[in-house]
A and B are shown apart, each in its own frame.
Chain A
Amino acid sequence: MTELKKDLFKRLEPKEYVTQELISNEDPKFFRDAYRRFKKNKGAHIALFMIIGILSLAAFGPLIGGHVYNEVTTQHINLPPRVPFIENLGILNGMRDNVNIYLQKGFNDVYYWFGADGLGRDLWVRVWMGTRISFLVAFVAVLIDVIIGISYGLVSGYFGGKVDMIMQRFVEIISGIPNLVVVILLVLILKPGLQSIIFALMITGWISMSRVVRSQVLKLKELEFVLAARTLGATSFVIILKEILPNIVGQIIVMTMFSIPSAIFYESFLAFVGLGLQPPLASLGVLISTGYQSLLIYPHMVIFPVTVLSLLMLSFNLVADGLRDAFDPKMKGF
């Protein structure tokens, strides 16, 4: 039997010790797998292209079409949609009740692709400017509640005990109040406008994210690799950031995608009940709520914004569904 001499053992420098234990915290296979599963989902794939299409139209649409945002032309009030070339196919040809309004009024060279509204403003430009607002509201609101939701869930789940108890009672009370009530009251106090809508969505949106993150953290923190990290002397901050967060990236992405359509919906809903952006600014919701008052006579004022809004919501939901199935086939109920 060989003697175990002291010089067989050597003390590691702290730096060496970290490199030995370093585990790549993102398994590249995980994302490749998820992407492969996502690719199989045809609906989600089409929806992704739809979102890209709507996004580019929102970006470049207002530049084409030959009209300027908020330009009022009194003679052109309520003109129906008319698009060059397509008009020859029998649709979008400026007809209303079998009369070509454009020719009747003598506007032979005037084209309003989506028609004009009650003040003679071009709806094509207004719809895409409105879509920009929807995207803006969605991304800012989502960005902020992702940050709040993730940190709240991480802290509450990781520290557990009393901290968790107090934080969860708080969530319980907040989630006991219907979002609708909170959003309406906040927008009323802060005066309707873009900032107050975003602020209201931010206050209500983080709850579900924090719940998902918390439940994942509760599961993960009991696992061996977290225990190992703790034994090696990693601080709570490092464990949360390096060990736990990378493991819940999938769920976070899925939850984020689900909260985008919800933010878009709330913005258009607020506009519909009169708490949206104030004129002359237009969002899709504002266009729908002003257009619906003359729905029976001028349906074109509602059809285009409603179609864009519905396609946008549908696409985001489809992509979110696809991502959920790709990242975590077992996750459900959201």
Chain B
Amino acid sequence: MFKYITRRMFWSIVTLFTILILLFLLLQFLPGTPFNDEKLSETSKALLNAKYGLDQPFFSRFGIYMKNILTEFDFGISLSIQRNWMVKNIVLPRLGISIRIGLQALALGTSMGIVLGVLSASKKNTWVDTLATLIAIIGVSIPSYVFALLLSYVFGFRIPIFSIIFNFNDPIKSSILPTIALSMFVMAQVTRFLRTELIEVLGSDYIRLVEAKGVSKFKVIYRHGLRNALISVITILGPLTVTLLTGSLVVEKVYAVPGIGSLLVNGILTNDYNVIVMIAFVYSALYITMNLFVDILYGIIDPRIRVAKGA
């Protein structure tokens, strides 16, 4: 187990490092200079260049860039959104709300998905199953920003229960619509995956044995079926994180949520490269951490994985 965890951690760190190198290369490809403010004097330009090592050759620049990131988490200064602010001071305060909405969506989507998945698997080939499958396919197909637009039009404008854009004075209520919009895809994926998995588990021999013993149907599904089916549902948490990250961009834009998704969209629109690079790094780190967490969790729950992957 220990060997498996260290191996997974090693590859996660290699991946993160590769991403840092790619991000650094990206900055080298971009034209122009980051310090093109006319108000900057020659001396302050020289000072800034020296601070970020832009007067150095390529490999030293790379060294300084890495050092700034690894020791101080410093990705440079913002070029347009909040001029001359440290990027980390813009990004980090906005991280909390994004993560909260993401986790809420994950929790809501997973629980609804489990309910729908169990319903459709236990009532296989009835109208309940058809309905759940239909909801799931709609949730998988329709992009989250479409749900966001629809919800904000219906529940923000036509029936004004919630505010259309994020209200700082009421962050809990304002986060309800974004959470629902983001959770649709999670719900749909969990439903689809759990359905196939549960149907397979319920057809296995040990379930037939439990049934033969006269255990009630409810208990068969929840005690014996669902527990085993849920193990494999854990594996889709990684891919789901990607869709949550992608969705956060557009959903935060629609509702003007002050998170890092809307900040990234702003950064793209105003060419604020340092902001883009830092958020890209944060996103990658979140994704890699989630994958690592899922793999370790799965390794603990299911010993077969360790053996197969750890060799």
B48 at the interface (CB under 8 A from A): no
- Asked if B291 and A176 make an inter-chain contact with CB atoms under 8 angstroms apart, the answer reads yes
B69 at the interface (CB under 8 A from A): no
A12 at the interface (CB under 8 A from B): no
List, in ascending order, chain A residues with CB within 8 A of B236's CB.
333
Q: In the complex, how many residues of chain B place their beta carbon closer than 8 angstroms to a beta carbon of chain A?
A: 49
Indicate with 1 or 0, residue by residue over B13-37, a CB within 8 angstroms of chain A CB atoms: 0111011001100100110000000
- Expressed in whole angstroms, the Cα–Cα distance for A185 and B265 within the complex equals 12
Q: In the complex, how many residues of chain A place their beta carbon closer than 8 angstroms to a beta carbon of chain B?
A: 39
B268 at the interface (CB under 8 A from A): yes
B204 at the interface (CB under 8 A from A): no
- Asked if A173 and B15 make an inter-chain contact with CB atoms under 8 angstroms apart, the answer reads yes
List, in ascending order, chain A residues with CB within 8 A of B29's CB.
189
A163 at the interface (CB under 8 A from B): no
List, in ascending order, chain A residues with CB within 8 A of B245's CB.
178, 180
Q: Which of A169, A261, A269 has the most CB of B within 10 A?
A: A269
- Asked if B268 and A178 make an inter-chain contact with CB atoms under 8 angstroms apart, the answer reads no
Tell me if B's interface is mostly helix, strand, loop or mixed.
helix
CB distance from A296 to the nearest CB of B (A): 5
- Expressed in whole angstroms, the Cα–Cα distance for A299 and B291 within the complex equals 40
B47 at the interface (CB under 8 A from A): no
Instruction: Pick the interface stretch among B53-61, B217-225, B247-255.
Output: B247-255
Indicate with 1 or 0, residue by residue over A156-190, a CB within 8 angstroms of chain B CB atoms: 00000000000001001100111111001100110
- Asked if A173 and B14 make an inter-chain contact with CB atoms under 8 angstroms apart, the answer reads yes
> Given A295-B153, A296-B157, A314-B137 in contact, is the A188-B242 Cβ separation under 8 Å?
no
Chain B interfacial positions (CB closer than 8 Å to A): 11-12, 14-16, 18-19, 22-23, 26, 29-30, 137-138, 140-143, 145-146, 149, 152-153, 157, 164, 193, 196-197, 235-236, 242, 245-246, 249-250, 253-254, 264-265, 268-269, 273, 276, 280, 283-284, 287-288, 291
Chain A interfacial positions (CB closer than 8 Å to B): 43, 169, 172-173, 176-181, 184-185, 188-189, 261, 265, 268-269, 272-275, 288, 292, 295-296, 299, 302, 306, 309-310, 313-314, 316-318, 321, 332-333
